[in-house]
Amino acid sequence: MKVTKITAESQRVPLGKPTRIPLTDPKPTGPNAVELVTVQLETDAGHTGLGFSYVLGPGASAIRSLIETELAPLVLGEDPRDTEKLFAKVEGHFRAAGFAGLAARAYSALDIALWDIKAKAAALPLFQLLGGARTASGFFVSDLGLGGRDSAEVVKAAKPLMKQGATGVRIEIGGGDVQADAERVREISDGLGDDAWVGVAADGRFDLGTAQALAHFFEDIGIDWFEDPIPAADEIGYAKLAGLMETPLAVGSGFGSREAFFRVIRAGQVRTIRPDVCRLGGITPFLKVAAVAEAFHVAVSPVRMPEVSVHLACGLSVVPHVDSVSWFKDVFAGGPKIEGGKLVPSAEPGLGLMLK
């Protein structure tokens, strides 16, 4: 089986709105939209693979250009089932310029499409090809607590989802007013109740002293994890935080390499790592990170992308839940569904996704 054709398309998807805007729209993207790149791979065996990558902000045009000019020639004519070979080939191609960054985001779309074909060729849903650890996964919601969103609005939107099975919400903070951030987290936590899971994510926006103060506050109100409180490069700071705080640390949503995760895992400072499949370069490097994490008894919680993450959570025992967002519900058909209080992947071969 050989890859015979690669087609890439890009579009802008407004957050929280049912309509899509063409990427050629002159309005700036800002934080209110996601730029999405979809890729379709065709083969001489009749199998077609669908993959995608995204950025919160501009960059889709550059990703699409990399796919069409640099990556497509490396994948065309190859067997799509050779995911390890192709990943090594692409990473080697970008060795001089560096694979992390846009090249990894661009290849992630292709790698996801390759795994889609690989599972289809085996006549299995992707989660079963990956190991079939479970048939459904718990999930939390992270598109409700985006930075700046009113706490009462978050609680109102979250409660119906929690009745369907969501364990809770992930809240983004770091808008510049630390006191307002703390109060917003407290209001959401109180509004959801004691049984709700609440995670807080800072994207490395705080210094060590501020992060320590917030960590103590979060311990008092029962927050379940503090994600990326300080810059990723501050390894000494993370070691200090891990020794002082009881709230579990989650780290890695901004990591662009496997090696960054390996260092954190081996240091033994965190209980959960947060790899972003798109930022890492696809499912293939994600699996390498997950294998090391499992060896060190560290949980793996993929960043967003429930269309892919539900297969990772149901395929691998080291992935305990899905980080769910509804950004692409009007882009894809056949994605995960909530059944019996859990998120359930499609039973169709591959990802079970189609473009609407």
CA dist., res. 135 & res. 345, Å (int) = 8
User: Rounded mean pLDDT of 287-314?
Assistant: 96
292 lies in the same domain as 341: yes
Is residue 176 pLDDT above 90, yes or no? no
**Contact (Cβ atoms closer than 8 angstroms) between residue 167 and residue 134:** no
CA dist., res. 139 & res. 237, Å (int) = 30
**Contact (Cβ atoms closer than 8 angstroms) between residue 319 and residue 300:** yes
Instruction: Out of 121, 154, 178, pick the residue that ends a domain.
Output: 121
346 lies in the same domain as 216: yes
Tokens of 321: 């839940």
- Report the phi/psi class of residue 245: left, alpha or beta, with left for phi > 0 and alpha for psi in -120 to 50: beta
219 lies in the same domain as 100: no
61 lies in the same domain as 153: no
Q: How far is CA 252 from the centre of its chain?
A: 11
233 lies in the same domain as 345: yes
Instruction: Out of 68, 95, 121, pick the residue that ends a domain.
Output: 121
pTM for this prediction: 0.91
CA dist., res. 285 & res. 104, Å (int) = 10
CA dist., res. 132 & res. 113, Å (int) = 19
- CA-based radius of gyration for the chain: 20
As a whole number of Å, the end-to-end CA separation of the chain is 27
211 lies in the same domain as 325: yes
The pLDDT tens digits of the residues spanning 131-161 come to: 999 999 999 999 887 766 788 989 999 999 9
The pLDDT tens digits of the residues spanning 114-136 come to: 999 999 999 999 999 999 999 99
Instruction: Out of 77, 102, 121, pick the residue that ends a domain.
Output: 121
Looking at the structure of the chain, the number of domains it has is 2
Is residue 24 pLDDT above 80, yes or no? no
In 28-132, which ranges are continuous DSSP H helix?
A: 60-66, 72-75, 83-93, 102-121, 126-129
99 lies in the same domain as 235: no
Range of the domain at 326: 127-355
Q: Which amino acid is at 210?
A: T
219 lies in the same domain as 299: yes
The pLDDT tens digits of the residues spanning 82-115 come to: 999 999 999 999 999 999 999 999 999 999 999 9
CATH number at residue 72: 3.30.390.10
